[in-house]
């Protein structure tokens, strides 16, 4: 399949050209090579999974995409151009939002306030401008609230909007984190193990929300996930990592029948 030829998936979703391309990325921490010369792309509208055993370098890869880590070698291309070195907030302003492997919410704050923090990148009018241009600030505030309410409705968390995050069960916290990321209206959404630690029912809910987000908003999604059933159900294409190297890349069926992948990953039990 040509990488830039748009196509429609079996379930009717439209996949476009390449949105993000990682070119020969190498990332080291002192003597540890977390990522060794990895290249892959993410296409517009796609759900792209990254899988591999613990310590394979998956979170590091998401951290490179989101600007948290700067690779020693390689280039990150986004929307057809090489991306200069950027701070994470600048990457966020380019329309890339993420959730974390370990939940990173403001535990003492309500669900609503946590989701509002996802809008920070859209708050252009600072406090001084607000004093001078009251009308403009009010319009902006209204647009922010509207998007936040839309996301809260969409993820079915109206009933807990006033609840402090600290009181929520794990599965709902994960959903609130997704809501905060979506509030930013990202073009590319990065999810680091969105279903880790969930029970079967919570996993089913989260899978459905991920598919719905992709379908409804056309959001491109890159996710790390351990549950192979979930990966096979959700993703259009899968990158397989092992010890910092890429050992497979293709459709779920292709990687499932790749002998290197079977040896390194699929043949052994995972948590």
Ligand X SMILES: Nc1ncnc2c1ncn2[C@@H]1O[C@H](COP(=O)(O)OP(=O)(O)O)[C@@H](O)[C@H]1O
**Residue closer to ligand X, measured from CB, 27 or 151:** 27
The residue from 44, 52, 59, 184 that contacts Mg ion (CB under 5 A) is: 59
Residue 29 within binding range of ligand X, rule CB under 6 A: yes
**Residue closer to Mg ion, measured from CB, 59 or 121:** 59
What is residue 24's three-state secondary structure?
A: strand
**Cα–Cα nearest to 178, from 202, 200, 201:** 202
CB of 56 to Mg ion, least distance (A): 8
Q: Where are the alpha helices (DSSP H) in the chain?
A: 58-65, 88-93, 111-117, 127-132, 134-154, 170-183, 200-217, 228-234, 252-256, 259-261
If contact means CB under 5 to 8 A according to the sort of partner, which of ligand X, Mg ion, none does residue 250 touch? none
CB of 240 to Mg ion, least distance (A): 14
Residue 186 within binding range of ligand X, rule CB under 6 A: no
Residue 99 within binding range of Mg ion, rule CB under 5 A: no
**Residue closer to ligand X, measured from CB, 59 or 214:** 59
**Cα–Cα nearest to 123, from 96, 109, 144:** 144
If contact means CB under 5 to 8 A according to the sort of partner, which of Mg ion, ligand X, none does residue 95 touch? none
**Residue closer to ligand X, measured from CB, 54 or 85:** 54
**Residue closer to Mg ion, measured from CB, 19 or 56:** 56
Tell me the β-bridge partners of 248: 240
CA dihedral 136, 137, 141, 147 (to 10 degrees): 50
What is residue 91's three-state secondary structure?
A: helix
**Cα–Cα nearest to 97, from 134, 26, 40, 151:** 151
If contact means CB under 5 to 8 A according to the sort of partner, which of ligand X, Mg ion, none does residue 173 touch? none
If contact means CB under 5 to 8 A according to the sort of partner, which of ligand X, Mg ion, none does residue 2 touch? none
Task: Pick the piece of the chain touching Mg ion (CB under 5 A) from 80-88, 101-109, 129-137, 248-256.
Answer: 101-109
**Residue closer to Mg ion, measured from CB, 54 or 85:** 54
Tell me the β-bridge partners of 96: 188
Contact in structure between 209 and 157 (CB atoms under 8 Å): no
Nearest-CB residue to Mg ion? Answer: 59
User: Total residues contacting ligand X (rule CB under 6 A)?
Assistant: 11
Q: Which residues in 38-57 contact ligand X (CB under 6 A)?
A: 52, 54-57
Q: Which residues contact 107 (CB under 8 A, 6 or more apart)?
A: 164, 165, 166
The residue from 60, 99, 187, 220 that contacts ligand X (CB under 6 A) is: 60
| Three-point CA angle 77, 234, 116, nearest 5° | 70
If contact means CB under 5 to 8 A according to the sort of partner, which of ligand X, Mg ion, none does residue 155 touch? none
How many angstroms separate the CA atoms of 158 and 149, rounded? 9
Contact in structure between 165 and 111 (CB atoms under 8 Å): yes
> Which residue ranges make up the site for Mg ion (CB under 5 A)?
59, 101
Which stretches of the chain bind ligand X, using CB under 6 A?
Answer: 29, 32, 34, 52, 54-60
């Amino acid at each position: 399949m040509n990488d830039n030829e748009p196509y429609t998936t079996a379930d009717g979703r439209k996949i476009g050209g390449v949105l993000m391309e990682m070119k020969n990325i190498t990332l080291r921490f002192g003597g540890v090579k977390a990522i060794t010369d990895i290249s892959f792309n993410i296409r517009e509208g796609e759900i792209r999974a990254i899988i591999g055993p613990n310590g394979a370098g998956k979170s590091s890869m998401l951290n490179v995409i989101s600007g948290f880590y700067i690779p020693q070698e390689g280039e990150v291309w986004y929307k057809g151009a090489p991306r200069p070195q950027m701070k994470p907030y600048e990457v966020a302003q380019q329309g890339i939002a993420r959730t974390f492997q370990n939940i990173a919410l403001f535990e003492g704050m309500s669900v609503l306030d946590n989701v509002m923090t996802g809008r920070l990148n859209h708050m252009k009018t600072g406090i001084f401008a607000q004093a001078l241009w009251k009308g403009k600030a009010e319009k902006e505030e209204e647009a922010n609230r509207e998007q936040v309410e839309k996301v809260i409705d969409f993820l079915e968390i109206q009933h807990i909007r006033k609840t402090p995050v600290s009181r929520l069960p794990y599965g709902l916290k994960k959903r609130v984190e997704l809501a905060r990321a979506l509030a930013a209206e990202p073009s590319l959404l990065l999810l680091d193990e969105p279903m880790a630690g969930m029970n079967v029912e919570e996993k089913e809910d989260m899978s459905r929300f991920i598919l719905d987000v992709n379908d409804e908003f056309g959001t491109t999604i890159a996710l790390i996930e351990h549950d192979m059933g979930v990966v096979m159900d959700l993703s259009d294409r899968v990158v397989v990592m092992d010890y910092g190297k890429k050992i497979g890349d293709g459709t779920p069926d292709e990687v499932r029948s790749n002998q290197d992948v079977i040896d390194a990953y699929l043949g052994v039990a995972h948590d």
